[in-house]
Structure formats: structure tokens, C-alpha cells
């Protein structure tokens, strides 16, 4: 049997914001056997790879190499020769000061098939997030990108600083923080005006983004005083002046807010992406873990007798996924749902159903158990048989409410919600004053599990704002000794984000 031929995809990961990763990059990651990645690659981008994919770190920071460039090239060749599909994930764009061409050349010389997937370069994205267009009619019609990594004063430098000093367009310097004082001194020496506007942007496109502005004469001193370090992008030119009117990212209500995400690890990614889109900085500390139910006989019997039910009602996306996963294991598909009315307690649950080709017949206006019951009071469900696939720790409010309306209900556990192993010392450190702005709770179990091991005194000393997705979660938080500051009007992730924004707008 012939060996599988391997292939390498040189993929640009973009400047940091995982939302700027390209669709082609996502497609490549989905098919990867191995991901070889650099420093500063966002973990949410790595999440696009299959769980079984091997992940190999080969990054460097501040000139300190974890793995040498020749070793990286040899690694890519070796993996591809072994029949692996390899994604070589590089920050920004692979070919813009990223040494991707060296890796491509090594692959070509070895006869390895490869593709290059361009990425959004920090040279243009970072200034844009700081409110600086790199070109602007009347101010700058050209853009020059150079590396500031090499000592600009060394003999034989390939960069003509004397010519750059005389150009009228925008100059963007990548990897230049270490030599900023030398670069600015050299540009001044060769005639660039001391009043030329300059911006230094650290952690561009991320919630930790920080920008200082000045002039060519004073920017190095201001950057040193502010303690700015790499990674940072330096922008030199009149376009920097436009930042006063074009700032947008830093104006988000949640910009820079550190938000503790307590959802299960497999679910946290979506919420983290949503937070990042609104300028917040998510901090993951999962307080629950979703596990398959062990005793499946009740669930299996219900699936085998779906034709006996009138309604199939889901209260969470987890319930949808667990139920359909078990259906698949039993070699049963959606045809078994013929004739059933499908209920979903909210839009996220409905979207989870859509992924299986199912459209919910009924979604209550208020996405809670009470809302589900209230909208059913006018429906004729007396004598109707309901199947509720839910968590093993779900309360009986919905079940009892349906029974009071005359329905017959089978409340079946389809997944366990447990407390995962956790680093209590890390949690206590996170909860110290000043480390977090918000603690976000998306269920009662995230509250109780997070607080296990904390003393009453430690709970009372929590200064971060407490945000809850719904009244039940809020009630649990209050009962546990927490002051609830933010409560979502709509019990969805988007509703919770909206409530956070509204709260911080009032505080501004």
C-alpha cells in the first residue's frame, strides 16, 4: 500500500485578534494532523484544529529562539514525508518579514507539496485598530514596511535609513522596540523632521492594546517612560494625527476589561470570541465540565420509543448535542423525529438544533423555564407526552410546571455536569483585587463549583463585578454570598454581553 503523501500549508495567523484569521486558514486547520506554531498565536486560533491534532510550539521571543529556523524547516519536511498534513501557523503574513519564504524554499527543495495562505499583516491591521490609516489622500500615498530588528547602526545594514528619512509617505517599523532610540536618532540624523508624528502600538488588535503618540524627537523617551515592550508596531508619518478622530477599538465599553469565563472548556471558546469582539479580555477558568451520561438505559429506551411522544423539548445546547450524539451511536437519525413538536428554550439551543438540520417549532419569548411554561398555557398540552433530555442536575421547575398543565413528562438525564480539576491557588490569585473586572456566570453550577474551597471571607473580598445570565443563576450567586451587579435582560450570551456594555457605559 503506497504511503500517504504529506503536504504543508504555510498559513498566516493574522495580527492577534482571532476574528482576523482567514476562512482559508480555518479550512486548513480543520484538516491538520499537525500544527507547528509560533509565539503569540492566539489559543482561539489553535482551537480550530481537530482535538487529535498534534501541536508543536517553535516560537521565539525577543530574539530568543525556542527552535532554530533550520530545525523548523527540517521538521516540516520530516512531518510531510511521514504522510502528515501540516499547518505551519505564522503570525501576521508568512511572507511579510516572517521567514515563510525560507520555509517554502526548503519544502520545495525537498520535493514537498505546499501552499501559502496569506494572513493579515500587523503592519496594516494594528494601525487600523489604533485609529491610524496607513495611507490617506492628502497626507500619505505610500507605505513602507521595514524591520527594526537589526541594529540600524551596524556596518552593512540592508536598510537605507538615509533614503527612508527623506520619504514623504508612511513608515511602519515591525520588531523595532529594542532599537527604537537608535532608529529615531538615525532618522533625525538623515533629515526627517523632529516634529514628525509617531505612534507606538503594543499588543495591537487585542484587548490589551496600548498606544502612545509623540514626535520623532520624543517618542523613544515616552515609550521608555511608559514601559512599552515588544510586541509593538511603530508608525511614523502625518497619518498618526488622524488617530484623534478615528479611534474606535479603544472606545468599546468593554475595552480592556478582564472577564473571568467560567463555562465548560468546550463551550468557553464561543463566549471568549464574543468578548474579544467587544474589546474585552477573557480569562478562562472553567468551573464545570460536561461529560456523557453513564447509565444510558433510560435515554436509549426514550430514543427507541420516540414515536410515543408528542413533544421533544430541549433546554440547552448541551442537551441537543448529547441527545443527537446518542441517537447517532444507536444508528438512529432525524427521521425518528417525524410527527414530534420540537421545543427549544432559547436561540442558542435552537441554533444547536439547526446544526442537525432541525428547526424548532416553539421558542418562548422569554428564554427561561418559566417563559417556556407561560407561553404554553394557552396551548392544549393536556395529556400530551413530553420528553425532556437535560442535565442530571437540572431542577424540576419545568417538569412540574408541564405536569400542572396536564402533560405527561419523561425527564431524562443525557449528560453530567461535574466540577473539573482546578488550580485553587490560581483561582485565589485571580480573585485578588485588581486582577479581574468581571466574573461571568452562565449557570447556577458555574457559581457553586467556582466557589468550592473558598472561605466566606475570601468570597466577601471579591471586588470584581458579578454578571449572571439569568435570575436562577443570580439567586444562586446571592445565596452564595456574592453581590450581583449585572443581570442579562435576555438569557443568552449576547444578552449577557449587552448587559455588561450597558453597565460599563453607565460607569464611564
- Residue 381: inside a domain: yes
**What's the structural domain count of the chain?**
4
Work out whether strand 258-261 and strand 281-284 pair parallel, antiparallel, or are unpaired. parallel
Q: Residue 152 falls within a domain, yes or no?
A: yes
Tell me which DSSP letter residue 178 carries: T
Is the same domain home to 374 and 280? no
Whether residue 335 is found in the same domain as residue 387: yes
- Which residues, in sequence order, are CB contacts of 15 under 8 Å at separation 6+? 91, 92, 120, 121, 122, 125, 126, 204, 205
> Are 239 and 305 found together in one domain?
no
**Domain boundary at 94, 120, 146, which?**
120
Residues 201 and 87 in one domain: no
The question of whether 151 is a catalytic residue gets the answer no
Please confirm, yes or no, whether 333 is among the known catalytic residues: no
Q: Do 317 and 404 sit in the same domain of this protein?
A: yes
336 lies in the same domain as 359 = yes
Q: Could you report the per-residue pLDDT of 145-179, keeping only the tens digit for each?
A: 999 987 777 776 788 999 999 998 999 999 999 99
Q: Indicate the pLDDT class of residue 392, thresholds 50, 70 and 90.
A: confident
Flag whether 488 is in a domain: yes
CATH number at residue 365: 3.40.50.10090
| Residue 216 located in a structural domain | yes
pLDDT value of position 3: 55
Say if residues 416 and 442 touch (Cβ distance below 8 Å). Answer: no
What is the span of the domain harbouring residue 447?
Answer: 258-288+421-507
- pLDDT at residue 64, rounded to an integer: 56
Specify the 3-state DSSP secondary structure of 457: helix
Task: Note whether 426 and 283 are same-domain residues.
Answer: yes
> Which of 313, 484, 452, 326 has its CA nearest to residue 394?
313
- Of these residues, 33, 38, 93, 203, which one is catalytic? 38
Domain harbouring 38, CATH code: 3.40.1010.10
pLDDT at 474 over 60: yes
**Nearest CA-CA partner of 44 in 8, 14, 17:** 17
pLDDT band (50, 70, 90) for residue 508: low
Compute the distance between CA of residue 241 and CA of residue 214 in angstroms, rounded to an integer: 10
Using one digit for the tens of pLDDT, what is the confidence trace for 33-53? 999 999 889 888 999 999 899
Q: Are residues 296 and 410 in the same domain?
A: yes
Q: Alpha carbon of 398 to those of 10, 46, 322, 353: distances in Å?
A: 51, 39, 19, 20
The domain boundary, picked from 120, 143, 175, lies at 120
In a domain, 2, yes or no: no
Question: Is 175 among the catalytic positions?
Answer: yes
395, 418, 441 — which closes off a domain? 418
* Alpha-carbon gap, residue 405 to 147, rounded angstroms: 71
**CATH number of the CATH domain containing 231:** 3.30.950.10
The 10s digit of each residue's pLDDT in 116-136 is 999 999 999 999 999 999 999
Which of the residues 175, 177, 192, 493 is marked catalytic?
175
Average pLDDT over residues 295-319: 92
Q: Containing H/E element for 378?
A: none
Predicted local confidence at residue 376, as pLDDT: 84
Same domain, yes or no, for 341 and 401? yes
The answer on 376 and 284 residing in a single domain is: no
Instruction: Calculate what percentage of the chain has a pLDDT beyond 70.
Output: 96
Q: Is residue 1 part of a domain?
A: no
Question: Taking all residues of the chain, what is their mean pLDDT, rounded to a whole number?
Answer: 91
Residue 398 confidence (pLDDT) above 80: yes
Question: What is the per-residue pLDDT for 267?
Answer: 63
Based on the domain organization, do 138 and 245 belong to the same domain? yes
Annotated catalytic residue, options 24, 55, 60, 478: 60
Q: Are residues 112 and 129 in the same domain?
A: no
Amino acid at each position: 500500500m503506497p504511503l500517504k503523501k504529506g503536504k504543508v500549508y504555510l498559513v498566516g495567523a493574522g495580527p492577534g485578534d482571532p476574528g482576523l484569521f482567514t476562512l482559508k486558514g480555518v479550512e486548513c486547520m480543520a484538516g491538520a494532523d499537525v500544527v507547528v506554531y509560533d509565539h503569540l498565536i492566539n489559543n482561539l486560533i489553535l482551537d480550530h484544529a481537530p482535538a487529535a491534532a498534534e501541536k508543536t510550539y517553535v516560537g521565539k521571543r525577543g530574539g530568543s529562539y525556542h527552535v532554530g529556523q533550520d530545525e523548523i524547516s527540517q521538521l516540516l519536511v520530516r512531518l510531510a514525508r511521514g504522510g502528515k498534513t501540516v499547518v505551519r501557523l505564522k503570525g501576521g503574513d508568512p511572507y511579510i518579514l516572517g521567514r515563510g519564504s525560507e520555509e517554502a524554499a526548503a519544502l520545495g527543495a525537498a520535493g514537498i507539496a505546499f501552499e501559502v495562505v496569506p494572513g493579515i499583516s500587523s503592519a496594516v491591521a494594528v494601525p487600523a485598530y489604533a485609529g491610524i490609516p496607513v495611507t490617506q489622500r492628502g497626507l500619505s500615498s505610500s507605505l513602507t514596511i521595514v524591520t527594526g530588528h537589526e541594529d540600524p547602526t551596524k556596518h552593512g545594514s540592508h536598510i537605507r535609513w538615509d533614503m527612508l528619512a527623506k520619504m514623504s509617505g508612511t513608515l511602519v517599523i515591525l520588531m523595532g522596540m529594542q532599537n527604537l532610540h537608535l532608529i529615531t536618532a538615525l532618522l533625525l540624523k538623515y533629515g526627517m523632521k523632529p516634529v514628525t508624528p509617531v505612534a507606538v502600538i503594543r499588543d495591537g488588535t487585542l484587548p490589551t492594546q496600548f498606544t502612545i503618540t509623540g514626535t520623532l524627537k520624543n517618542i523613544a523617551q515616552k515609550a521608555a517612560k511608559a514601559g512599552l515592550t515588544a510586541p509593538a508596531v511603530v508608525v511614523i508619518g502625518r497619518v498618526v494625527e488622524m488617530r484623534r478622530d478615528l479611534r474606535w477599538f479603544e472606545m468599546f465599553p468593554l475595552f480592556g476589561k478582564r472577564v473571568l469565563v467560567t463555562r465548560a472548556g468546550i463551550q468557553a471558546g464561543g463566549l471568549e470570541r464574543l468578548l474579544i469582539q467587544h474589546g474585552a479580555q477573557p480569562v478562562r477558568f472553567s468551573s464545570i465540565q460536561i461529560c456523557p451520561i453513564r447509565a444510558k438505559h433510560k435515554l436509549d429506551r426514550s430514543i427507541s420509543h420516540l414515536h410515543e411522544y408528542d413533544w421533544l423539548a430541549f433546554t440547552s445546547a448541551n442537551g441537543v448535542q448529547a441527545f443527537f450524539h446518542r441517537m447517532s451511536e444507536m444508528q438512529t437519525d432525524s427521521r425518528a423525529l417525524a410527527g414530534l413538536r420540537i421545543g427549544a428554550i432559547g436561540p442558542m439551543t435552537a441554533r444547536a438544533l439547526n446544526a442537525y438540520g432541525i428547526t424548532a417549532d416553539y421558542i418562548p419569548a422569554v428564554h427561561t423555564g418559566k417563559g417556556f411554561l407561560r407561553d404554553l398555557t394557552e396551548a392544549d398540552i393536556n395529556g400530551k407526552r413530553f420528553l425532556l433530555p437535560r442535565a442530571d442536575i437540572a431542577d424540576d421547575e419545568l417538569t412540574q410546571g408541564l405536569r400542572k398543565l396536564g402533560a405527561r413528562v419523561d425527564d431524562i438525564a443525557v449528560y453530567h455536569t461535574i466540577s473539573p480539576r482546578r488550580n485553587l491557588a490560581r483561582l485565589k490569585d485571580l480573585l485578588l483585587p485588581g486582577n479581574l473586572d468581571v466574573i461571568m456566570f452562565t449557570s447556577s453550577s458555574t457559581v457553586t463549583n467556582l466557589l468550592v474551597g473558598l472561605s466566606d471571607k475570601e468570597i466577601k473580598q471579591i471586588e470584581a463585578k458579578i454578571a449572571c445570565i439569568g435570575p436562577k443563576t443570580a439567586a444562586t450567586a446571592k445565596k452564595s454570598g456574592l453581590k450581583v451587579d449585572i443581570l442579562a435582560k435576555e438569557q443568552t450570551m449576547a444578552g449577557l454581553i449587552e448587559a455588561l456594555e450597558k453597565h460599563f457605559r453607565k460607569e464611564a
